[in-house]
Amino acid sequence: MRNHEATVERYRASGKVDWGHFLPLAVLVLVVSAALAFGLHFAHRHGFYYVVLVPQLVALVVACFELLAISSAPLPKFPGGTAPDSKYRGGVDSATWT
């Protein structure tokens, strides 16, 4: 059995971030989170706060904005020019896996 680990390139983080694209979306997530936190406080003070339902709905909205901020950024290129997908898992490229 051959050692395939020696022939497979692994992903190495470059540390490069497209701040011009990511930062405005991160600020948007922060603003939406703060507004929804204020909304939760307002609902609690005025008796519209349902303990299980309202925080889960707010968390879902914030998670959607976080997903938007993260997924809209360009994906890093993996060795061989492929983006992260089902072909690249655990450091083994499917093209070299036998």
- Per-residue pLDDT tens for 50-75? 888 889 999 999 999 999 888 876 65
Burial 63-88 (b: 16+ CB within 10 A, else e): eebbeebeeeeeeeebeeeeeeeeeb
Q: Say what the pLDDT of residue 6 is.
A: 56
Does the reported pTM lie above 0.95?
Answer: no
What Cα–Cα distance (Å) separates residue 93 from each residue in 51, 96, 97?
47, 6, 6
